[in-house]
Chain A
Amino acid sequence: MYHHEGEDVFILDSHIHLWDASEENIDHEGGEQFIQCFYDYHTAFTPEEHQWDLETYRQYGPEKMVRDLFRDGYVDMGIFQPTYLTDFYAEGFNTTDQNAELATEYPERFVLNGQFDPRDGDAGLQELERLKDDYGIQGVKLYTAEWRGDSKGWRLDSPEAFEYLEKCAELGITNIHPHKGPTIRPLNRDAFDVADVDDAATSFPELNFIVEHVGLPRLDDFCFIAAQEPNVYGGLAVAAPFAQNRPRKFGEIMGELLFWLGEDKLLFGSDYALWEPDWLVPTVMNAELTPEQREEYGVSLTTDVKKKIMGENAAELYDIDIKEKKRTLQNDAISQQFALEDGETAAD
């Protein structure tokens, strides 16, 4: 639990990973390029004293993750967003089954999301059913730019993808998180175009589409689509760390997002281990718009708005009763292990 100006702020980190980019797990040069590229983003937006060395970054393991999030990072709950990349990594980069180990050990602390890839055909549909049966998933993370043999990606508005979205609706998997973020080589740029979200969101009003990384660097296209579709949300992973070394830019991006989408449709995510919540949460909580930005956009980043972004909006999408959850967490295994009293973190 984070405290801000005398208030409790429930932190539901909507974007976390437990990945394995160890050299033994890499079986395609793309896997090495991928983690190197991630590491560039890590160092570019992390204060120097908080930067990890590359070896730690490749594979940090579940124990460190639990400490970083819950003991040191103020996080109350986290949502696992898997990234399979099975063409690059022998056992996958970050799969649902791998994440499930930790999610099963600490069920009160994690939300476990699955994924699908429409190129997997009928077998993929069955796999989606299995993920629902085994783990009761409420959401999926989608990586439309994932390489698969000769294919360099897929689109959310394709007939094949629609078949999967129908299956999600049928199974009650209501939160769809497409990654639409920075150009990450060696993945293809066009596969991160946000236009396909528009059609999918219109066709499936019963599903929520949380566009991860708010479409950066297609923020303008994303905002325009999201303003028209009531079921399109923005995940702030990648945008959030701007608050650290590009605060003015962070204000502008938040100004656009609050102007076009409003305060109920934005979700905080650290993207752990790209960035760590121990410095990121306070940085975002302390961020402000300049008076010029408040006037320009006609919006403000008040504590109430921040509370929505840091947890309440995601809790709404995942049917989490924050009051109830706070009671449960006071005494769960994590609180006991780290001697977190009254929901406070040891770092307080």
Chain B
Amino acid sequence: MTTSKSSPTVDRAAVINRLDSVTDPELDRSIVELGYIDDLRVESTVFVRFTLPTAWCSPAFAWMMAVDIRDSMSELSGVEHVTVRLADHMHAEEITNGVNEGRAFDAVFEDAMDGVEAVRATLDAKARLARQYRAVETLLGAGLDPEQITGLRRTDLTFDEETNRVAIATDGVVVYAPAPPLTEYVEKANETGILCEPDDRLFVTPEGTPITPEAFERVHHRARSARTNMTGQGAVCEALQDARYGRGSVER
């Protein structure tokens, strides 16, 4: 495979690591984990081919994933160019060419009402809420009560990478909990602009306002339904993917 143009400095594991950070925006899960990537060639040009569970998957979602794959390679050592190919989709050509040429969604799809940003923001807000459910469940499990949880600010958390735990300072004591649900929540909360200031409240309502202790349960139930919706849609996609590629369609 080595040619005069190839660069020995491009690390395949680093490429996969970057790709792993790209999510299916509707499911909030890694496209690597979902098995969408079916061809990857790593040289000075990185070539990524991906296939979605159905040919009818929303073109807006497919577009977002293609753009995110392309952009995830930026400033990766040794990568001079990236080519993305969407396979087996009703708009495979438009999306592949549009994204590789750096064009805008609504320039490629003339009947699109507008760009994909509003759709992306809606999906991101839901992903944030679904992650909030898991984070709050973790804190409840660690013994915090609704009043303590709704009062938390970003600065009350200290992540310890070594133990993979998070220390939560509340009411003058420190409580420990498993870090991953909180790490994942903070990441999405940052992306969606919930945690701009260090003393911003950690958790907010679906509308983005602080949660009163009285409203805690209701908000938590709404967060749960966001998660059920997301994993329910995940099950639809999984069943379609199984039907399409001939794997036995059973609950994993």
A338 to chain B, nearest CB (A): 32
Q: Which residues of B contact A (CB under 8 A)?
A: 26, 54-60, 90, 111, 113, 119, 126, 221-222, 224-226, 228-233, 235-236, 239-240, 242-244, 249-251
Say whether, besides A152-B111, A245-B251, A44 and B231 are in contact (CB < 8 Å). Answer: no
Query: In whole angstroms, how far apart are the Cα atoms of A27 and B223 in the complex?
Result: 44
Query: In whole angstroms, how far apart are the Cα atoms of A122 and B126 in the complex?
Result: 40
B86 to chain A, nearest CB (A): 14
Report B-chain residues with C-beta under 8 Å of the C-beta of A256. 224-225, 228
Say whether, besides A152-B111, A245-B239, A217 and B251 are in contact (CB < 8 Å). Answer: no
Minimal Cβ-Cβ distance residue in B for A296: B224
A40 touches which of B58, B60, B232, B240 (Cβ 8 Å): B240
Say whether, besides A33-B90, A224-B222, A245-B251, A219 and B243 are in contact (CB < 8 Å). Answer: no
Say whether, besides A185-B90, A189-B60, A249-B235, A220 and B240 are in contact (CB < 8 Å). Answer: no
Max chain B Cβ within 10 angstroms of own Cβ: one of A43, A184, A255: A43
A268 to chain B, nearest CB (A): 18
Report B-chain residues with C-beta under 8 Å of the C-beta of A220. 126, 222, 225-226, 228-229
Closest 9 CB pairs of A and B: A185-B56, A217-B233, A44-B243, A220-B225, A44-B239, A219-B229, A220-B229, A43-B243, A249-B235
Q: Which residues of A contact B (CB under 8 A)?
A: 33, 36-37, 40-41, 43-45, 152, 182-186, 189-190, 216-220, 223-224, 242, 245-249, 252-253, 255-256, 259-260
B65 to chain A, nearest CB (A): 15
Report A-chain residues with C-beta under 8 Å of the C-beta of B60. 189
A225 to chain B, nearest CB (A): 11
Query: In whole angstroms, how far apart are the Cα atoms of A216 and B228 in the complex?
Result: 10
Contact B249 A40 (CB under 8 A): no
Contact B232 A253 (CB under 8 A): yes
Contact B231 A189 (CB under 8 A): no
